[in-house]
Structure 1
Amino acid sequence: MASPTPELLLDFPNFVRLFKDGTIERLGGTEIVPPSTDPITGVQSKDAVIDQETGVNARLYIPKTTNPNHKKLPLLIYFHGGGFVIETAFSPVYHNHINSLANEAQVVVVSVNFRRAPEHFLPIAYDDSWVAIMWIAAHSKGGGPEVWLNNYVDFERVFFSGDSAGANIAHNMAIRVGVEKPHGFKLVGITLIHAYFTGKQPIGSECEDVVGKATFDKLWLFVCPTSSGSDDPWINPFMNPNFSKLGCDKVLVCVAEKDSLRNRGWYYKEELEKSGWGGVVEVMQDEEEGHLFHLYKPTCDKAVAMLKRLAAFMN
């Protein structure tokens, strides 16, 4: 006799299903690829363990032109998307995107593999990301455990970036840099690609897209069940009293016209300019495109243009 189908507790289409017996079924972002030397760009990658106890790790990338006799390169610390639930730093879409970005921008990249909900609810992903940043900073004097960081990185030119939930992490890590002012590196700028932010009060097209807004709010409480709700400063940056202390001098916000999160990107720019922060923030909007289009259509003209804009931002 066949076993009874377990009772479904929560269902987020294209993301994850959670069953009453504790079973978790991820509906995407489960494929991984190994590190490599990319045959097209020549970018090399390898994996490194950051914290043995928690298992937090990362994938490191260096462009083809690096060698110990060349000048050191900017460093990009990247946080992948996936709603804090799916995808990893080792997913094909991220591996391919960062190979292209490391080559185009001629930067060293550390793509952080933080722990995900629902096995590890927020704020664990934020904690893991900060541990990774501090591990990277420990290489600034040239004596860290990872030779690529010792040899190739200019720690006076560090950038954070991420998409969707990863952009949320990049923002929150930049706030922490501004508040705590850690030693060992200078955060020059951050790029937020289709950032996952929300808020209790709907803005722009969120007023019409009631279902989409409700889904983002519900997902937030799923990944952070101890949260106070959609105005939690982790997910609504304007509720953070330290918003104006963002620890960098420039920000690039990327939005897509058909992405329901685009309103939050534009609002981020407006609020940051009014906050007294004092840096420069720009928005790049891609017309007729949806959420994370650049990952799934990397060779289209707009994705190529975005790649070049991201590279220019770091140089």
Structure 2
Amino acid sequence: MNSSSINSSKSERNYSEADIAKKFLFFNVLKDGRVHVFTSIFEKSPPSDHPVSTPGVETKDVNISPDISARIFLPTSAVKKSTGNKLPLLFYIHGGGFCMQSAFSVEYSLFVSLVVAEAKVIAVSVEYSLFPKRCIPACYDDCWDALQWVASHCKGLGPEPLINDHADLGRIFVGGDSAGGNISHNILAKAGVVQLLGDVKVEGMILIHPFFCEGEPMWMYMCPTNQGPRDHRLSPSVEDLARIGCDRVLVVVAGMDSKTLYDAGINYVDDLIKSGWKGTVAETMENKGKEHCFHLYDSLDPEAAAI
């Protein structure tokens, strides 16, 4: 199987059980080569001065390359101030099982805008390639390229004025939930080997209910070039953990998540510390009694605010 042999089908189920060749958690593979992703269509929120219902946050959509785009979030107060003080930058990677959701969806626009309003940061939320349009590792490559694009603004001469004017690229935080947490780990493992452009610093990484699951069949199908059940992108290796390119790490686990994902999140911090990682702070936070990525669907929950 390769990316050219995979075709996307409509979101509606327009086939019978007899047409299915393989069944996975988020999609069916049909005998004719089509892939039906169960929830591939989401309501998208257009960029505006007040995305969804969060006042005090401005948004702008940008194209980074033909395959990559992003939504930039900025507190309105930062635009009005003329003090020259710049804000930390949150580089956010959405979840969705590597095949669903969007940086532009209502859920993610609301969540990231709430974080920006509360934390007083500028955020870049990445729209990366999803399966089946492109197979894994396209998602990793796209997010790495997007992070390099952010870094290209380090001297204030990048292509996006909002980043040039308002972002302190000595205080970058990379984070994501579920699949986005997995991708965050992988691009910061790469950042420990391949230098980011210019004089930038990734200060911290936030993994929210990250997706790590040794030998997970769906991920391995989406990545036809996988290296087997212990592929380091799916099951973090000691070598990758040791070179995570930031000083602080926070892993958030959901108390009612699957045992596999819960344990993987807990073990991540322990394994990171044992790996020889050169950072200074690695912590775990538990959302007790909460399900996987609950924060996207109940943004007013106090546990969601704590994230």
* TM-score between both structures, scaled by the size of structure 2: 0.88
Contact 1:29 1:88 in 2 (8 A): no
Aligned-residue offset at 1:119: 2.1
The answer as to 2:157 corresponding to 1:159 is: no
The correspondence for 1:69, drawn from 82, 92, 102, is 82
- Cα deviation digits, residues 108-128 of structure 1 (max 9, x gap): 111111101122111111111
Could you tell me whether the CA contact under 8 Å between 2:40 and 2:99 is conserved in 1? Answer: no
Residue of structure 2 equivalent to 1:16: 27
Name the structure 2 match of 1:255. Answer: 253
Are 1:243 and 2:241 counterparts?
A: yes
> What RMSD over aligned residues (CA atoms) do the two structures have, in Å?
1.7
Q: Deviations over 1:126-154 (max 9, x none)?
A: 11111111111111111111110111000
Residues 26-35 or 179-188, more deviating: 26-35
Contact preservation (8 Å) 1:174, 1:246: yes
Q: Does the 8 A contact of 1:41 with 1:100 survive in 2?
A: no
Tell me the CA shift for residue 287 of structure 1. Answer: 1.1
How far off its partner does 1:182 sit?
2.0
Q: What percent identity do the matched residue pairs reach?
A: 39
Query: How do residues 63-102 of structure 1 correspond to structure 2 at under 5 angstroms?
Result: 63-67=75-79, 69-70=82-83, 71-102=85-116
Q: Which runs of 5+ in 1 are unaligned?
A: 201-216, 307-315
Verify the 8 A CA contact 1:116 1:125 in the aligned structure 2: yes
**Residue of structure 2 aligned with 1:46, choices 52, 56, 60:** 60
1:313 is matched with which residue?
none
Q: Distance in 1 between matches of 2:33 and 2:162?
A: 41
Structure-1 separation of matches of 2:77 and 2:249: 27
1:28 corresponding residue in structure 2: 39
Gap change, CA 1:100 and 1:4, over 3 Å in 2? closer
The alpha carbon displacement at 1:297 in A equals 1.3
**Cα shift readout 1:214-266 (whole Å, capped 9, x = no counterpart):** xxx111112212212221001111x2523201110000000011111110011
Q: Distance in 1 between matches of 2:235 and 2:131?
A: 19
Which ranges of structure 2 fall in alignment gaps of 5 or more residues? 1-13
Tell me the amino acid that sits aligned with residue 221 of structure 1: M
Q: Is the contact between residue 238 and residue 272 of structure 2 (CA under 8 Å) also seen in structure 1? A: no
Cα offset, 1:29, TM superposition: 4.7
Separation of aligned partners in 1, 2:228 and 2:107: 31
